[in-house]
Chains A and B, each alone.
Chain A
Amino acid sequence: MSADTAGPETLGSLSTEPEQQDPNSQQAKEISGKSPLRIALGRLARDKIAVICAVVVLFFVLCAVFAGPICHLFGVSLETPLASERVDGLNQGLPKPSMGPPNGPFTWDHPMGVAPRTGEDNLAYWLYGCRVSLTIATTATIFASLVGVVVGLLAGFLGGAVDKVLSFFIDLFLTIPFLLAALTIAPIINDRYNLSDNYSTIQKTALIMVLSIFGWMGTARLIRGEVITLREREFVQAARVMGMPTGRILFKELLPNLAAPIIISISLMLPTFVALEAGLAFLGIGVTDGVSWGQMILKGTNLTFFREYPQYLWQPLLGIVALVLSLNLLGDAVRDALDPKTRR
């Protein structure tokens, strides 16, 4: 987790002057009157990979948002069935033939089959697992980037003692091993809150906090670096001379110029958190109630099940791979689109 989600080397540096362009050229006429973001969006729309990835991401977002209605549509639910109704205890706990693969033909009652041993419906668990993944990753990304941006802005712009203190904290958090912290916090949360009725919500909140606490440093460093170069530029100097309050300079003058690095760091943080959430659930920390891709993978890694019923492992695995891959590629494409120096 201490790895930067986005580093300066992957970004177009904003300190370089844009190349001079002939104001009368065809290209210049096309882009005149368009904001930089508008131009970037146009570029993005022409990027085939970006469009495909965006569609895939949109698919997952729709799955997550409409998990309930989709389940209803297929007539499946998260509800635990009596195991003996759906799986065969004398045949290695595999689903009965009437439940679909691996022992029977495909059935619309359970489009993705049922889980060995418990008979839980895979489609419902997959959809709600998608929701858990995306909710946790998105929330953690929002928190982490908010903290990162604010800390980066303050440290970069104010400099001096404030910069020293904030940088110290950035370094401090970078030294704490993320996995170790997550492993330590899980039993503490359990011990403190296991009597609560909202245990699973508290568990997820704690997970979001852990992810955000250990995820903001990369963004903070990045923004700080950008701010240090920006604050010496003429428009900032001018604003200072005019006596603008610091807050106004930070948020009205500097922030709009930082849109690109912020968007990029967010777009790369999101897939990292999706993968981390699944990884933690696999280890049995984080989400433990079973509704999570990571936990589904944990159950599917049983070698007998993999041999007899490989779909059971492939379903959550493909979910994670497709989501993380498309988020990453989309992030790259956004980076390319926002970089004024990119030429295609």
Chain B
Amino acid sequence: MKRNKPLALVAGAALLTLAACGGGSSDDGGSNGGGKEREFGDQTGGTKDAERQGPAADVEGATAGGTITVYLPGDPGPDSLDPTGGWSVTGNSIQQALTSRSLTQYVRDNETGDPVLVPDLATDLGTPNDDFTEWTFTIRDDATWEDGQPVTADEVAFGICRSLDSDAFPSGPGTEYSKTYFEGAADYKGPYTGKDPKCEKWSGISVDGQDITIKMAKPFPDMDYWGAFMAMGPAPLGNASKPPNYGNKPLSNGPYKVDSYKPNEELVLVKNDQWAADSDPGRHQYADEFVFKFNQDQAKVDEIMLSDNSDSQTAISTGLGSDKYNDANGQLGDRLVQQTSQCVSTLTPDYTKITDINVRKALAYAYPYEDVWIAGGEVPGVTRIPANSVMPPGMAGKKEFQVDGEQITYDPEKAKALLEEAGVEMPYPITMVYYEVDPLAVATQEQITKGFEASGFKVKAIPVQDSPYNIWLDPDNKVNKTLNLRGVNWCSDWPAGSTMIPPLLKTGAVYNTAQFSESSVDDEMDNIATMPLEDQAGAWGDLDEKIMTEYFPIIPTAFRNDLFVFGSKVGNPTGDGSIGAPNYKDVYVMQ
């Protein structure tokens, strides 16, 4: 899934391993006392527990009541709350934890910190047939909507059916998974676009009592993970859930419901008194209210969080400015949570315009990783490390190879040599966009331009005042047509290579901003899905290496870590490893 934050586009990396206390110089006033050393960790895939039943185990010492304010610095948040359309870290982490249930869900294992896949609306993790072409989920009968009506199997089936409507939800996750794997999905336009409001024309799903059976067009062993997306959850039948209006106030079935929602500003969630703890194996309902404040100013939020005043004691921030890292690390201790997530930042040279692999490699050598990244307000070695391929560290099958034998670093001479080898005219023209409203984004663009121009490129940087994703993903955009270098920050949807490689590199995939298209690679991706389950992880790793060494279609600039700050009265400060967000399910306000 994509990262919302436009700033994240500028992600870079550095070779430094951090010794946090050391800082850079010893005479900086000693504001950074006994912080602990933080290193970049791996996020492993976690485990499954099909037997888990509600209610979820109590968090030790948890008390009820209070309001938790969540600041999201520089993050505009989701454009719509429609569960079917949600495919961003911010939106999904909030809604899946608090308002919108689906077939399965993740909980955090408190001992290892790893995510555990457990049942949610289904009573178990689903039953596949032998070759994973048919999955059956039994929907529990005690889950309810916020209006007290029971969540029925028909509603779940309808919600799943909605995910096939790629015109109504053009950037929803269904475009990637439902469309690819569900039987007959490719020809079905969806309940809205296909004028089929009851979803009768799609035969891929059948409901029998509480059982939902989904037929697959090809083997889909990861259906239980896909079931953890809120897109695989229920929607009220008929017009009640018609997009786009439903996205303003979706009907909740989790422990909280939407009280008010102003896109890009604020989302207020209040307790849903119809939610029964017994029906839910993963969620809690400790706080009375959650207030999410989007698009906050990073510096301001940092001050609030570090001041430990009454406002910030019950607040959470989803980011920390690099200028505050030393202070925060010294002062906050466990309240500064470093959450690794399976994410990668990339630059994507347009495969149709930059056709020579040497030019693409030259770009990788021309990118001043550490500089970009300091200018963009990251902490080298803590929030960013250099990346070698698309699959993030910790993912099963990940191979520790290097495209050129060693880690690619900023090396203008090598870039020039590669350009000469490619026999292209120098300076080679590069056209890219940057978000001019944010001084940090401007500063990082200046670093990129500097690095590229020192390496034999000529950069035309186009300032935009819209999220760059809106430019990159819109094929008709006049600016987009001129670009030959784009970028995506991508996080795994579940711990498997199938959620990293195909969404970024398959022909025609929505977030394939490189326009990469090689039929042999596409075939191989299709092949892997048919392999025995135990071989798949390794096969994705091999494919990852093959794509990078043979084509180098995408330049991984960094693997990412996030820093979250928790107020002193927020209990159980932890991160959610499955998605790279604060662990909203288990937090509470200390009374």
Contacts and interface: CB of A to CB of B under 8 A. Distances in A.
Interface of A: 80-85, 87-94, 96-97, 103, 116-118, 186-187, 190-191, 194-195, 197, 199, 284, 288-290, 295, 298-299, 301-305, 308
B379 interface: yes
B317 interface: no
B324 A87 contact: no
Contacts of B378: 89
Given A93-B322, A284-B437, A290-B439, A82 B447 contact: yes
Nearest to A98: B25
A103 B16 CA distance: 21
Contacts of A117: 322-323, 374-375, 377, 440, 443
Contact of A199 (B29, B324, B463): B463
A211 to B, nearest CB: 20
A103 B27 contact: yes
Given A83-B371, A84-B370, A117-B377, A304 B25 contact: no
A12 B29 CA distance: 57
Contacts, number: 133
A290 B326 contact: no
Nearest to A284: B437
B542 to A, nearest CB: 35
A298 B374 contact: no
B286 interface: no
B22 A90 contact: yes
Interface in B355-396: 368, 370-375, 377-381
What are the 7 tightest A-B residue pairs by CB atom distance, in nearest-first order?
A88-B24, A91-B24, A89-B374, A83-B371, A304-B323, A80-B446, A91-B23
Interface residues of B, number: 54
B327 interface: yes
Contacts of A97: 25, 27
Nearest to A302: B299
Interface string B435-477: 0111110110011011100000000101111000000000000
Contact of B321 (A91, A298, A304): A304
A39 B324 CA distance: 59
Given A89-B14, A195-B462, A299-B439, A84 B29 contact: no
B281 to A, nearest CB: 42
B317 to A, nearest CB: 15
Contacts of B303: 303
A90 B379 contact: yes
Nearest to B462: A194
A91 B465 contact: no
B28 interface: yes
A288 B436 contact: yes
Contacts of B325: 92
A85 B371 CA distance: 8
Given A194-B464, A288-B442, A82 B451 contact: yes
Contacts of A89: 14, 16, 24, 322, 370, 373-374, 378-380
A80 B437 contact: no
Nearest to A79: B450
A116 B375 CA distance: 8
